Homo-oligomer: A and B are copies of this chain.
């Protein structure tokens, strides 16, 4: 993409909705948010908000409707299995005001995974229920598909399955300008750099400067993260930041991503 067309591209935003009592009870640590944050960023899609709600219809419907209207994309995880507490598909249908229908393609995908056709019982067939107008998201790992409706992508909660589904839908997404990042790590304290850092931010409004203190091995430090779509502005600001940290008598160690 040329510099000019990159600048013309619009900012594309997303929200993530994590559905599941098990995250809120603390039984399970969510692993999907971080994966989606990183993958969306690579595609030039800015994750702007995430929510975790219980397996409760009213809460899912409200969150789906609020988040799909305020972002270009909404990705949900969890609640699409065959048991009584899997109510995501029905809740999304309700949010869109459409009927829940048995999707023939989903029935087929389920049937293909089962050795004995008799295993395609009523419970498993619930996983083939898709809101009217929904398009399937392939699940190469365990068969039961997710679905896309409007700007909402409904995926499984099990991380390995969610990731396989995300791979399957990735090519349907259209990102905007990718946000590039540079990170400098210093041993200075936030309180000693804050004033000059604020000045640097004021001089470079096109670069987002984040200051993230950490505490490791009983020592404090700060990661300074610069983000911008314009590589040249990023370079310029990083050079000034490095100079500033050295002038204050601190380290300015470049952190390589990944």
Q: A197 to chain B: which residues have CB within 8 Å?
A: 83-84
Q: Which of A32-40, A93-101, A167-175, A237-245 contacts B (4 or more CB under 8 A)?
A: A32-40
A49 at the interface (CB under 8 A from B): yes
Q: A201 to chain B: which residues have CB within 8 Å?
A: 84-85
CB–CB A83/B50 < 8 A: no
Q: A179 to chain B: which residues have CB within 8 Å?
A: 25
CB–CB A210/B37 < 8 A: no
- Chain A interfacial residues counted at CB < 8 A: 71
CB–CB A25/B50 < 8 A: no
Given contacts A52-B33, A52-B50, A161-B215, contact A84 B24 (CB under 8 A): no
Q: A119 to chain B: which residues have CB within 8 Å?
A: 191-192
Docked pose: A142 CA to B22 CA in angstroms: 32
A54 at the interface (CB under 8 A from B): yes
| A84, A181, A211: residue with the most chain B Cβ atoms closer than 10 Å | A84
Nearest residue in B to A82 (C-beta to C-beta)?
A: B194
Q: A161 to chain B: which residues have CB within 8 Å?
A: 215
| A209, A212, A215: residue with the most chain B Cβ atoms closer than 10 Å | A212
Given contacts A49-B51, A191-B124, A195-B121, contact A209 B25 (CB under 8 A): no
With beta carbons under 8 angstroms apart, the residue of B25, B41, B194 that contacts A25 is B41
A250 at the interface (CB under 8 A from B): no
CB–CB A25/B53 < 8 A: no
CB–CB B59/A49 < 8 A: yes
A21 at the interface (CB under 8 A from B): yes
Would you give the shortest CB distance from A159 to chain B, in whole angstroms? 8
Contacting B at CB under 8 A, from A114-133, are 119, 121-124, 126-127
Contacting B at CB under 8 A, from A1-45, are 21-30, 33-38, 41
